[in-house]
Structure 1
Amino acid sequence: MTTTPTTGPAGRTVTASTVRRWSRPFVIDVRSAAEFEARHIRGSYHVPLGTLAEHSAELAEHLDDPESPLVLVCQSGVRAEQGRRHLAAAGLDRAHVLDGGVPAWAAAGGEVVLGRVAWALERQVRLVAGSLVLTGILGGRFVSPRLRLLAGGIGTGLTFSALTDTCAMGAALARLPFNREVTEPAPAAVVERVRRREPGPVR
């Protein structure tokens, strides 16, 4: 038996098992094209966060369907929450954020589409930040105490990222060639696919 969500606080997170019980959820994936290509929820729409931010008013008009519960998805929930805020600012305040993102959906037995394997940006950020902190600590001990400033700088950056709900390192990594092998879709094409209710990759 399928159910639809009842009226409640906007922007609340929702579990994968709950979404799977909903009737006709409208799932919007705000990750990069490379991440979406690697693995995405079957039937989801690809709307990169940047496109959603720049065209939130236009997209809000096409996403405002009371018959379809709106769920925003990313890798963990951070970018999806940013997308929810953009839509709320545009007047659409009924979106939910999938707790745990695509990995949680797959773990709950939800169907996913697999493609070219790629590391999620959040995983890349953890690798780079962790490596720099480790380099700073070891370098500060065996090379020069000044290298400990590197670890402090990364810690400061991560704290600022958490407080502002942004990620400068992630934005920088997204511009690297291996993260741009899959071309980001044109905003106009993204909006049109949503308008026409055509899920999947935007070619």
Structure 2
Amino acid sequence: MTTDASRADGLTPAGPAPAGLTPATLQQLIKDGRGPRLLDVRTPGEFRTVHIPGSYNVPLNTLREHRAELLAHLDEDVVLVCRSGARAAQAEQALAEAGLPNLRVLDGGVTAWEIAGAPVNRGEARWDLERQVRLVAGSVVLVTGVAGLFVPGVHLIGTAIGAGLTFAAIGNTCAMGMLLSKLPYNRGPRTDLRTVIASLRDRS
């Protein structure tokens, strides 16, 4: 299973990995007044729970859909952020395909940023997508495994889940994460793209 469940939009990365930026380096850039624009591509729910101060929330699916609009307001000094780096790599691919080169991804994502003791803004706590995927997948395997002792063939559902997780690891995608990201629990407040673009324009 992909560690950032969240390879939730189904993109499969291609080409070389994007350049990374360590939390320590990013902190220093911000301290020196040279902080890049931070685009957080997690779900609104995850962003509301915890995010790096000054970052903009543009969920991965929204970014893919409106990347042409965003492109006009982004320069090359952009760092993409997610929970652990996987979704940010997908966002880098999408923006690179739209014509924005030299993007960077925050190494280890928000998880590494917090471990480094860097400042964050916190809101209502909720489970991230990776944890939700583990819960749902584990519960289905457990329930169907037990039910299979009494109802022949039910255990095959768990086998299918296992096959799906294996495919997710190989292809670096996660259909279950994609479905879970659409739940109201994960959506949180809807991202207002016009507000994001206006903020980006103000910083131009």
- Considering the TM-score relative to the shorter chain, is it more than 0.5? yes
- 1:193 equivalent to 2:193? Answer no
* Alpha-carbon spacing, 1:43–1:72, altered in 2? closer, same or farther (3 Å): same
**1:184 — aligned with what?**
190
Match of 1:26 among 27, 37, 43: 37
Q: TM-score, normalised by structure 2?
A: 0.80
Give the match's secondary structure for 2:26. Answer: helix
Matching of residues 31-70 of structure 1 within 5 Å:
31-65=42-76, 68=77, 70=78
Match of 1:128 among 136, 139, 147: 136
**1:201 — aligned with what?**
none
CA deviation profile, 1:129-164 (whole Å, cap 9, x unmatched): 122122233333x32341221221112212232344
- 1:147 equivalent to 2:176? Answer no
Q: How big is the shift at 1:122?
A: 1.8
- Cα distance in 2, alignment partners of residues 53 and 147 from structure 1: 38
**2:103 — aligned with what?**
95
CA contact (8 A) 2:48 2:122 kept: yes
Match of 1:80 among 66, 84, 88: 88
Counterpart amino acid of residue 157 in structure 1: G
**1:5 — aligned with what?**
none
**1:3 — aligned with what?**
none
CA contact (8 A) 1:38 1:116 kept: yes
Give the match's secondary structure for 1:196. Answer: helix
* Aligned length in residues: 185
Name the % identity. 49
* Alpha-carbon spacing, 1:152–1:52, altered in 2? closer, same or farther (3 Å): same
- Cα distance in 1, alignment partners of residues 195 and 141 from structure 2: 41
Counterpart amino acid of residue 169 in structure 1: M
* Alpha-carbon spacing, 1:183–1:110, altered in 2? closer, same or farther (3 Å): same
- Cα distance in 1, alignment partners of residues 146 and 21 from structure 2: 41
Of stretches 92-101 and 157-166 in structure 1, the one that deviates more from structure 2 is 157-166
Consecutive unaligned residues of structure 2, counting only runs of 5 or more, are: 1-15
Give the match's secondary structure for 2:72. Answer: helix
Consecutive unaligned residues of structure 1, counting only runs of 5 or more, are: 1-8, 199-203
* Alpha-carbon spacing, 1:188–1:103, altered in 2? closer, same or farther (3 Å): same
Q: How big is the shift at 1:110?
A: 1.0
* Alpha-carbon spacing, 1:90–1:177, altered in 2? closer, same or farther (3 Å): closer
Counterpart amino acid of residue 14 in structure 1: L
- Cα distance in 2, alignment partners of residues 192 and 10 from structure 1: 30
- Cα distance in 1, alignment partners of residues 203 and 130 from structure 2: 29
- Cα distance in 2, alignment partners of residues 148 and 124 from structure 1: 21
Counterpart amino acid of residue 44 in structure 1: S
Tell me which of the two structures has the higher relative contact order, counting C-alpha pairs closer than 8 angstroms and 6 or more residues apart: 2
Counterpart amino acid of residue 87 in structure 1: L
